[in-house]
């Protein structure tokens, strides 16, 4: 069992706050993703769990035991880095085996454990090769196998796919998803890629500027973002956000008129997702504006219009044809709209 608890964890360098009052319990065998932009504190949080970074305040407990003062080697965690961190002079077999040698594991078990780990990530045909003879995807699989062979209590993965090209990212992501199911080990995964977070996680922690913004399942975070930052960070494309004013249940701003919103009068930020809106016959939509750009996605066409300072996207049929500058009408049902405080960014329930 490997339940991890972070209690009031803070990390500061002088006046700079890297992680601010982080509280979370990560369940045994859970796949948790720390998600946020560069510099938000997600990697620092992981490094504190690993013992590679000292905690300024707070406690981290693994299996009920506070590990603040334990060296990384004594925490029973295995880490997979963005940079692979392989030994260039060793072949794949020896790279995978290395953690077993360092930890003094019975040598008679090494071969079986190395081959079991390599089979899990489909490296059996490459065990004799040196890292320089491998592709980026193969090197990342060696790094994964080296973590697996340890049979640790906790896996820590720091942006393991960010050095791979788009096609390899998809296949390696599927492999990690399958591995996590097969190994059933508590996993903490750091990424700035919201698609990785949505596809891999049991729960997602969205962070910004060292502060946890929302914790929930991918579905919860997608369907009910806690604030405008989460709304703008999750989804591909991100949620459309338009600043305007509600009067008598009607949201208005330039080229936009959406009625049926039961909220007190005043300034708000209105949000909706591209796939929840649709093109309407000319003049029948709640938003009317010239096309700013079109993107053919294969299965659909993404159209964007400009409303004030905001680009607003709507997904439509792949057969749709038009030119930049052509006027379009967009139908936005009031029941798919999200409202956020323009002042604080927090979600307005209603």
In a domain, residue 348? The reply is no
Residue 67 has pLDDT above 70, yes or no: yes
- Other Cβ atoms less than 10 A from the Cβ of 27: the count is 14
Which pairing describes strands 240-247 and 250-253: parallel, antiparallel, or unpaired?
Answer: antiparallel
Predicted pLDDT at 325: 96
Q: How confident is the model at residue 1 (pLDDT cuts 50, 70, 90)?
A: low
Considering only 102-106, 193-197, 286-290, which range has the smallest mean pLDDT?
Answer: 102-106
Average pLDDT over residues 52-63: 96
pLDDT digits (tens, 9 = 90+) for 244-271: 999 999 999 999 999 998 777 899 999 9
Do residues 36 and 21 lie in contact, with contact meaning Cβ atoms separated by under 8 Å?
no
CATH code for the domain of 32: 3.40.50.300
Greater model confidence, 147 or 46: 46
In a domain, residue 53? The reply is yes
pLDDT digits (tens, 9 = 90+) for 104-150: 889 999 999 999 999 888 899 999 999 999 988 888 889 888 988 98
- Other Cβ atoms less than 10 A from the Cβ of 25: the count is 11
**Final residue of a domain: which of 212, 229, 246?**
229
In a domain, residue 223? The reply is yes
Percent of the chain with pLDDT over 70: 99
Instruction: Based on the fold, state whether residues 251 and 110 are members of the same structural domain.
Output: no
Angstrom distance (rounded) from CA 127 to CA 143: 13
Instruction: Based on the fold, state whether residues 45 and 69 are members of the same structural domain.
Output: yes
- CA torsion, points 197, 293, 347, 217, in degrees to nearest 10? -20
Angstrom distance (rounded) from CA 211 to CA 23: 10
Angstrom distance (rounded) from CA 80 to CA 149: 12
pTM: 0.90
Predicted pLDDT at 21: 96
In a domain, residue 310? The reply is yes
Tokens 């936005």 — which residue? Answer: 332
Q: How confident is the model at residue 102 (pLDDT cuts 50, 70, 90)?
A: confident
Q: How confident is the model at residue 196 (pLDDT cuts 50, 70, 90)?
A: very high
Tell me how far apart the terminal alpha carbons of the chain are, to the nearest angstrom: 41
Burial class (CB in 10 A: 0-12, 13-18, 19+), 44: buried
Angstrom distance (rounded) from CA 41 to CA 34: 9
pLDDT digits (tens, 9 = 90+) for 291-347: 999 999 999 999 999 998 899 999 999 999 999 999 999 999 999 999 999 999 999
Parent domain of 294:
238-341
């Amino acid at each position: 069992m490997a339940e991890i608890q972070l209690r009031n964890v803070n990390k500061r360098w002088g006046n700079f706050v890297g992680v601010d009052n982080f509280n979370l319990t990560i369940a045994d065998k859970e796949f948790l993703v720390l998600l946020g932009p560069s510099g938000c504190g997600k990697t620092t949080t992981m490094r504190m769990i690993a013992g590679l970074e000292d905690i300024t305040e707070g406690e981290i407990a693994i299996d009920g035991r506070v590990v603040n003062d334990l060296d990384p080697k004594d925490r029973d965690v295995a880490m997979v880095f963005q940079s692979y961190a392989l030994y260039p002079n060793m072949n794949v077999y020896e790279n995978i085996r290395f953690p077993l040698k360092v930890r003094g594991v019975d040598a008679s078990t090494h071969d079986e454990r190395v081959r079991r780990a390599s089979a899990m990530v489909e490296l059996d045909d490459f065990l004799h090769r040196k890292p320089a003879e491998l592709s980026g995807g193969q090197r990342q699989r060696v790094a994964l196998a080296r973590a697996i062979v340890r049979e640790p209590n906790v896996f820590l993965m720091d942006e393991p796919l960010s050095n791979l090209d788009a096609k390899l990212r998809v296949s390696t992501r599927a492999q990690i998803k399958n591995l996590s199911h097969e190994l059933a080990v508590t996993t903490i995964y750091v990424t700035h890629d919201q698609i990785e977070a949505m596809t891999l996680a049991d729960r997602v922690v969205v962070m910004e500027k060292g502060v946890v913004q929302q914790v929930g399942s991918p579905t919860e975070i997608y369907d009910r973002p806690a604030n405008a930052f989460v709304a703008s960070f999750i989804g591909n494309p991100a949620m459309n956000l338009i600043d305007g004013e509600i009067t008598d249940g009607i949201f208005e701003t330039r080229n936009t008129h959406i009625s049926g919103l039961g909220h007190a009068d005043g300034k708000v930020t209105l949000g909706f997702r591209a796939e929840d809106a649709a093109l309407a016959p000319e003049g029948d939509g709640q938003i009317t504006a010239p096309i700013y750009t079109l993107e053919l996605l294969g299965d659909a066409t993404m159209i964007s219009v400009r409303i004030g300072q905001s680009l607003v996207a709507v997904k439509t049929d792949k057969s749709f044809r038009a030119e930049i500058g052509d006027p379009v009408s967009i139908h936005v049902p009031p029941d798919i709209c999200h409202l956020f405080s323009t002042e604080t960014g927090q979600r307005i329930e209603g």
